[in-house]
Structure 1
Amino acid sequence: MQSAAAIGLVRPCAARPLAACPSPRRGGGVGGSLLPALTPRGLRLSARAGLVPASPLEEEESRRCRAARDVAASAAAGKAAAGEEAGGGGLVKTLQLGALFGLWYLLNIYFNIYNKQVLKALPYPINITELQFTVGTVIAVFMWITGILKRPKISGAQLLAILPLAIVHTMGNLFTNMSLGKVAVSFTHTIKAMEPFFSVLLSAIFLGEMPSTFVVLSLLPIVGGVALASLTEASFNWAGFWSAMASNVTFQSRNVLSKKVMVKKDNEESLDNINLFSIITVMSFFLLAPVTLFTEGVKFSPAFLQSAGLNLQQIYTRSLIAAFCFHAYQQVLIHLADIAASYMILARVSPVTHSVGNCVKRVVVIVTSVLFFRTPVSPINSLGTGIALAGVFLYSQLKRFKPKPKAA
């Protein structure tokens, strides 16, 4: 048989205020009515006769009221539990966010250190970049095959739209590795602090997005700081400098192209950013493969490494760790961005937190590389780097404020 609650018998009592339900321990009613209270044994307390058997209607009324009280008590307990869970959930999310930031920094540090060690021993940046795309492609295909990542359904039109992004992504990573092979890690990252300058410039030229006066002024310490650091950099050479600058241009071109070309069509399934990044990585692998063969050739064969007097195990281990960290830290950044977004940080944190985290990440990489490689740094060089990074942070804050449209 169905219970009274299941067939709706508790509704008449639940629909009125809980105070209107008679108490199971005392008589009396509400509003002058004399609804008898029921004891647990089905007896009612009569003012004249004491305990007498309760009528079926009175028992039914009591059951309904008890059910209503139970529902109210459960709801109150549920709200209390939800509040505790929300508090606990907030703490858990904060810890998760801190862990993601820490992992992002750690992967960046390991990538830059191992990558620099490999580039010093094996100065073939095209080969090393292609190896990084190869490892990223293997990881992406593995995630699609195992179902860890949903395999994307992509049309030919979407592939054509993604192709320019893959080209500039390939070039950006190649130029970064070329710079890292020529100059100190700290100097490459100081030059890469110029990214906002090229972002504003390219957005104005190709998107018509004119920056505010304050945004333009925030670019001055960036340019001045990089110039000051460059003049006093011990490892300075023009090949490393212009490679880092070219990396800035190509990466910011990718951002502009992503706004201009990646238009979501109604008849096409939209790509989340992890899948988008994975597809770009696979395309970059195929784009750079013929360039590698026709320029540097294959330099990672055991025969070549042995003939160059290099330790095979050491080169392979460091190369694979660097390549894995390269792909992994970008995946972490995507999840911080919106697990659908550098492309895991923006959806889970405010823009302020993200911009601070990004600046701190660059500082952490620069300081760590200086300490690890014992890079000579003069006080003026440090001052220039500090000014440039402060300008980047100021730019990221001012960029958030958009001018209000003027009333017609």
Structure 2
Amino acid sequence: MVEAQTWTTRRMSNPRLDSPATADHQVLDIPSTPTGDVRNSIYSVGSHLSPNLLTALIIASWFMSNIGVLLLNKYLLSFYGYRYPIFLTMLHMISCASYSYVAINFLEIVPRQHILSRKQFFKIFALSAIFCFSVVCGNTSLRYIPVSFNQAIGATTPFFTAIFAFLITCKKESPGVYCALLPVVSGIVLASNSEPLFNLFGFLVCIGSTAGRALKSVVQGILLTSEAEKLHSMNLLLYMAPMAAMILLPFTLYIEGNVASITLEKARTDPFIVYLLVGNATVAYLVNLTNFLVTKHTSALTLQVLGNAKAAVAAFVSVMIFRNPVTVMGMGGFGVTIMGVVLYSEAKKRSKFTTH
């Protein structure tokens, strides 16, 4: 579908670690709040706009890109008949790598950072592998379940983050935080039982995507901890995206066959697919870029709130476009999950305040 004084990666104390704001399938969901001087950057084009208008435009772009990549993925994989989620994910990674190179080296959106050691390289490679698993599972799930149900499952990211944080780092949360997870889980159980288009395989791979996203967040907080290894989100995307593409290449060749030739052959008879794939891959990069811009111009907390709203808006828009059936109980379960996420975020903030 990713600081000038210190470029920080996602930490486990950051509220976005547990936020569904990035519970989509192309974003590197890591904080990026530059405080230094970014020379000759693309932000200069908005210098003549009022700060409020510029922020509103950035937030609108964030909404459109996040919802757009979901709808485009769903259309391609379910309605258009392009049933190659691994190859599609690889195209997204190639797009992210290409656009990131231009944005950093030519537009100077952020200062370029370099991989400093072989150890750091393998750490980033490990994160790329987890990221691949999460993205491929997320895209695959869209072949079998509606976007609305996909978003409801994705909202349970805090639950899996808390589990992995405890299993890997033995980090315990306050009782209030764990209690807030109850409606997160109960809501998705309610939504699953009443989902008219429930598909077990689609449900399981979407759970895998959500768990993978949470695992990457926790592992990233462990691996990239030293000051020398910390990478800004856009630089991390620059390195992770090509690694992810290389990881995905053998899998798409083995599982999906000669998909490149199939795509070229299809393009000869239906050129529209070229526009769909290029547009889809471009929007996948814009998800990461607008994620960075929203955090720069607002805050991580704002992004968290927007993520909750985005899940509901994406579900509503997908129902309007694809006309998938919904039930009152299913919508109620989705609402309970979102409410649980809000309560969880508040409990995390209170817990963090009391520990300090």
TM over 0.5: yes
Among 370, 378, 381, the residue aligned to 2:319: 370
**Superposition pairs of residues 123-162 of structure 1, within 5 angstroms:** 123-146=83-106, 148-149=108-109, 150-155=111-116, 156-162=118-124
Q: Does 1:334 align with 2:334?
A: no
**Superposition pairs of residues 154-233 of structure 1, within 5 angstroms:** 154-155=115-116, 156-233=118-195
3-state SS of paired residue (1:301):
helix
Among 386, 395, 400, the residue aligned to 2:344: 395
Whether the 8 Å contact between 1:232 and 1:378 is mirrored in structure 2 is: yes
Whether the 8 Å contact between 2:153 and 2:207 is mirrored in structure 1 is: yes
| Inter-partner Cα distance in structure 2 for 1:396 and 1:96 | 27
- The residue identity in structure 1 corresponding to 2:157 is E
1:117 is matched with 75
3-state SS of paired residue (1:366):
helix
| Inter-partner Cα distance in structure 1 for 2:225 and 2:258 | 38
In 2 relative to 1, CA 391–134 (structure 1 residues): closer, same or farther, beyond 3 Å?
Answer: same
2:305 is matched with 356
2:333 is matched with 384
**Superposition pairs of residues 91-110 of structure 1, within 5 angstroms:** 92-110=50-68
- The residue identity in structure 2 corresponding to 1:385 is F
Q: Does 1:274 align with 2:274?
A: no
Query: How big is the shift at 1:92?
Result: 2.9
Query: How big is the shift at 1:223?
Result: 0.8
Q: Does 1:312 align with 2:270?
A: yes
RCO (CA 8 Å, sep 6+): is it higher in 1 or 2? 2
Whether the 8 Å contact between 1:164 and 1:257 is mirrored in structure 2 is: no
- The residue identity in structure 1 corresponding to 2:113 is P
Bigger Rg, structure 1 or 2 = 1
| Inter-partner Cα distance in structure 1 for 2:268 and 2:333 | 37
| Inter-partner Cα distance in structure 2 for 1:98 and 1:394 | 26
Query: How big is the shift at 1:405?
Result: 4.7
In 2 relative to 1, CA 231–365 (structure 1 residues): closer, same or farther, beyond 3 Å?
Answer: same
- Structure 2 unmatched runs, 5+: 1-46
Query: How big is the shift at 1:217?
Result: 1.2
**TM-score under structure 2 normalisation?**
0.79
Q: Describe the superposition over 1:104-132 as per-residue Cα deviations: whole angstroms up to 9, x where unpaired.
A: 11112221111111112111211111111
- The residue identity in structure 2 corresponding to 1:160 is F
3-state SS of paired residue (2:312):
helix
2:243 is matched with 283
| Inter-partner Cα distance in structure 2 for 1:270 and 1:117 | 37
1:67 is matched with none
Whether the 8 Å contact between 2:253 and 2:259 is mirrored in structure 1 is: no
Query: How big is the shift at 1:327?
Result: 1.4
Name the Cα RMSD after superposition: 2.3
Whether the 8 Å contact between 2:145 and 2:197 is mirrored in structure 1 is: yes
| Inter-partner Cα distance in structure 2 for 1:197 and 1:258 | 17
Q: Describe the superposition over 1:164-221 as per-residue Cα deviations: whole angstroms up to 9, x where unpaired.
A: 2111111110000011111111111111111110011111111222111111111111
1:59 is matched with none
Whether the 8 Å contact between 1:112 and 1:322 is mirrored in structure 2 is: no
Whether the 8 Å contact between 2:87 and 2:248 is mirrored in structure 1 is: no
In 2 relative to 1, CA 391–181 (structure 1 residues): closer, same or farther, beyond 3 Å?
Answer: same
Q: Describe the superposition over 1:237-262 as per-residue Cα deviations: whole angstroms up to 9, x where unpaired.
A: 11100111001111111110111110
Whether the 8 Å contact between 2:97 and 2:242 is mirrored in structure 1 is: yes
| Inter-partner Cα distance in structure 2 for 1:311 and 1:101 | 38
| Inter-partner Cα distance in structure 2 for 1:129 and 1:303 | 14
3-state SS of paired residue (1:104):
helix
In 2 relative to 1, CA 384–310 (structure 1 residues): closer, same or farther, beyond 3 Å?
Answer: farther
- Structure 1 unmatched runs, 5+: 1-88, 339-344
| Inter-partner Cα distance in structure 2 for 1:269 and 1:200 | 24
In 2 relative to 1, CA 217–321 (structure 1 residues): closer, same or farther, beyond 3 Å?
Answer: same
| Inter-partner Cα distance in structure 2 for 1:140 and 1:254 | 20
3-state SS of paired residue (1:400):
helix
2:5 is matched with none
| Inter-partner Cα distance in structure 2 for 1:355 and 1:108 | 14
Query: How big is the shift at 1:283?
Result: 1.1
Aligned residues: percent identity?
A: 26
- The residue identity in structure 1 corresponding to 2:242 is V
